[in-house]
Amino acid sequence: MKPVIWWVRKDLRLSDNPALSEAVRLGKPVIPVFVLDEVFSGYGAAPLWRFGLGLGALAQSLKAVGSRLVLRRGPAAQVLEKLAAETGAGAVRWSRAYDPDQVARDTKVKAALQASGVDAASLPGHLLFEPWTVETGTGGYYKVYSPFWRAVRGRDVPAPLPEPGTIPAPETWPASDGLEDWGLDRPMQRGADVVRRHAVVGEAAALDRLGTFIEDRIAQYKERRDFPAEPATSGLSENLAWGEISPRTCWHGTVRAMDEGKTGAEHFLKELVWREFAYHLVWHTPHILLRNWREGWDRFPWKTDQTPGFAAWTMGRTGQRFVDAAMRELYVTGTMHNRARMIVASYLTKHLITHWRLGQDWFADCLIDWDPASNAMGWQWVAGSGPDAAPYFRVFNPDTQLQKFDPDGTYARRWIAEDEAAPSDTALSYFQAVPKSWNLSPDMTYPQPIIDLAEGRARALAAYEARVF
C-alpha cells in the first residue's frame, strides 16, 4: 500500500479540508507532513509564533484520531521528494495557495514530484471562489469591490466537507523533527506570554468561536461592528489566516443565520468576500503585495525611513488616544479592531506621510491574523495607491473617530495606562509585552500629540493634491 502524503500548509484543520479528504479518499495510509521551508523565512515574529501554536494544535487533533503530524524542514521540493522516496508514497495532496512566492514554490514541487513518478495535485480550500472563476462581463478581473460582491453573493457555495472518519495510519511512521526544537517562538521574546492570553488556537476553538458569534452577535454585527470596545466582531480572522476554519464553514453558518432572520449577518458575508477580493487581486496583480498597485504613486513623497514619528506610532506614543490604544491592542493581542486599523493606517500614511510599506511590515511582524493579501490591500486602500482606493481627501481624524466610536472612552482606557489612577490590567499588560529597550513604564505621563492634527491634515491634503499624476 503506497501511502499518500498530505502536505499541510495554512490549512490546519480536519473538517472541510478538500486536500485531506482527497488524500483519505484514495484509500491508502495517509502521512500528514508539514515542511518548514524557505517561504517561512520571511515571516514576522507574531505570525511565525502563532503558526507554531496552530501546528501544535493540529498535531494534537491528529493524534486523537490515531494519526500524526510529521515535521520536516528544508526546501519543500527536496524534502517532499525525499520523504516520498523514504516512505514509498505514490501521491501528494495539498491546499492551493495564491501568492507569487508560494505559487512558484508549488510549481517547482509539483514538477519535481511528477518527475519522480509521484502523483502530485493541489486542491482548493483556502478560498470560497477560485480567483480565475470570477470575471467581469468582458472577461477581465474585478478591480472594484462592489461589482465583485454582486458577482459572487448569489453563488452556490458547496456545503463544507465533514471531517474524515478515520485517517489511515502507515505501518511505520517516518521520523519527525520536534516542534519545540524549531524555536518558532524565539523572535517573539517577551511578548509571547502576553499575546498567548488572547490567542484562540486550533480548529475546535475556531468552530466554537464561529458558533458563539452566530448565536450571540451576528444579528447585531452590522450595527455594532464599528465600536472597538464592544465584542461585536467575530475574531475569526486569526483562525481563517491559518486555516483552522474554512471560509466555506463561515459562509454556510452565516447563510443559516440569515435564513433565521438575522439580517445583520449579511454584512459578515461581505467581510468574508473582502478576504476573497484581496486574494483575487493578489492572484491577478501580485505586485500589490510589494509595490504601489497604481504605479503613479511611486512618485509620491512618502517617507521611507524610520522617523521619530514612525517610532512613536509603533510604540503607541503618538499622543493620539485612538491611535495609541490601537497600536497597543496590536502589540498585546496580536490583532486590532478593523476600524482601528483604518485609523492607524490613515494616521501613518497621511498625517505622518509615511510609506504604507512601513506600516504593512510592522503589521506583518505583529499580527497573529497576518494575511498577506488582506494586509496589502488594506494598506493600499487607505494610502490611496490601491484599487478601489479611498479618495485623497478622506483623512481620518483620530479625535473625531474616538468621539464617534468610543464615546465613553472604554477602548482608550482599556489600552492606555498613563495618567490613570487605576489603570486596567490590559493597559498594564502592554508594558510587560514590549521590549525593555523601549524604556516604557506605566508611570510615565501620557505624551502630548507629536503633531497637531489640523496641521497634519493640511499637510497631507497638500501633498495628495500636489501629486503629479
Partner DNA sequence: CCTGGAGTTGTCCTA
Partner DNA sequence: TTAGGACAACTCCAG
Residues annotated as catalytic (active site), given as ranges: 271, 274, 302, 338, 356, 379
- Cα separation, 93 vs 58, whole angstroms: 17
Is 144 among the residues that bind DNA (CB under 7 A)?
yes
Tell me whether residue 65 or residue 453 sits nearer to DNA (CB atom). 453
Q: Which of 129, 142, 310, 370 binds DNA (CB under 7 A)?
A: 142
C-beta closer to DNA: residue 116 or 146: 146
In the complex with DNA, the residue whose CB is nearer, 182 or 274, is 274
Rounded CA separation 26/29 (Å)? 9
Distance CA 76, CA 41 (A): 13
* Site for DNA, residues 33 to 72, rule: CB under 7 A: none
Choice from 145, 213, 302, 356 touching DNA (CB under 7 A): 145
Residue 274 near DNA by CB under 7 A: yes
Residue 196 or 270 having the CB closest to DNA: 270
Helix (H, G, I), strand (E, B) or coil at 30: strand
Residue whose C-alpha is closest to residue 212's, from 200, 194, 228, 223? 200
Interface mask toward DNA for 326-365; x: CB under 7 A: ------------xx--x-----------------------
Q: Checking phi first, is residue 164 left (phi over 0); if not, alpha (psi -120 to 50) or beta?
A: beta
- For DNA, the binding residues in 373-432 under the rule CB under 7 A are 378, 381, 387-388, 390-397, 400-401, 404
Give the sign of the dihedral formed by CA 152, CA 158, CA 164, CA 169. negative
Q: Do the strands 70-73 and 119-123 form a parallel or antiparallel pair, or are they unpaired?
A: unpaired
Cα separation, 330 vs 367, in Å, equals 7
The site map against DNA for 195-234 (x = CB under 7 A) is -------------------------------x--------
CB contact at 8 A, 240 and 247: yes
Does 133 contact DNA by CB under 7 A?
Answer: no
CB of 206 to DNA, least distance (A): 21
- Our finding on whether 146 is near DNA (CB under 7 A) is yes
Strand order of the sheet with strand 4-8?
70-73, 30-36, 4-8, 91-95, 119-123
247 near DNA, rule: CB under 7 A = no
Query: Coil, helix or strand for 104?
Result: helix
CB of 458 to DNA, least distance (A): 9
Neighbours of 452 (CB within 10 A): 11
Q: Does 465 bind DNA (CB under 7 A)?
A: yes
Angle at 397 between CA 393 and CA 403, to 5 degrees: 140
Residues of the shown chain interacting with DNA in the complex, contacts defined by CB under 7 A: 136-138, 140-148, 150-151, 226, 270-271, 274, 338-339, 342, 378, 381, 387-388, 390-397, 400-401, 404, 453-454, 457, 465
